[in-house]
């Protein structure tokens, strides 16, 4: 009668050699790279919009400052030259 050969724990079946850690497919990797690129582009656009918005806010504040005298009925302020009324 044959004796059962002990199992070699270091050997693996040929069909199982293709196994391993699961990883994202190539299309999934491309999609995630594309999403990261779009997110970075959006961040860059927000950074470039911020100085423009600050400039617009400054001009809006200036317009509001000069319009405030008209709205409240106060006389216009004299400019630094004294001859011109703002």
What is residue 36's predicted lDDT score, i.e. its pLDDT?
A: 96
How far apart are alpha carbons 61 and 67 in whole angstroms? 10
According to the per-residue pLDDT averaged within each range, which of 5-14, 18-27, 38-47, 73-82 is highest? 38-47
Is residue 43 scored above 60 in pLDDT? yes
Extract the tokens encoding 67.
């319009």
Q: Within a 13 Å sphere around the CA of 80, how many CA atoms are in the beta-carbon half?
A: 0
Where does 4-83 have alpha helices with state H? 26-72
pTM over 0.85: no
31/49: higher pLDDT: 31
Which phi and psi angles does 85 have, rounded to 5°?
-100, 130
What percent of the chain has pLDDT above 90? 19
Extract the tokens encoding 19.
């196994």
- What's the rounded mean pLDDT across residues 8-26? 71
How far apart are alpha carbons 10 and 13 in whole angstroms? 10
């Amino acid at each position: 009668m044959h004796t059962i050969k002990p199992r070699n724990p270091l050997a693996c079946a040929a069909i199982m050699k293709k196994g391993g850690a699961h990883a994202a497919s190539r299309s999934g990797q491309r999609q995630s790279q594309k999403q990261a690129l779009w997110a970075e582009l959006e961040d860059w656009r927000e950074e470039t919009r911020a100085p423009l918005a600050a400039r617009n806010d400054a001009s809006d504040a200036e317009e509001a400052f000069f319009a405030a005298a008209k709205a409240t009925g106060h006389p216009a302020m004299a400019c630094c030259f004294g001859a011109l009324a703002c």
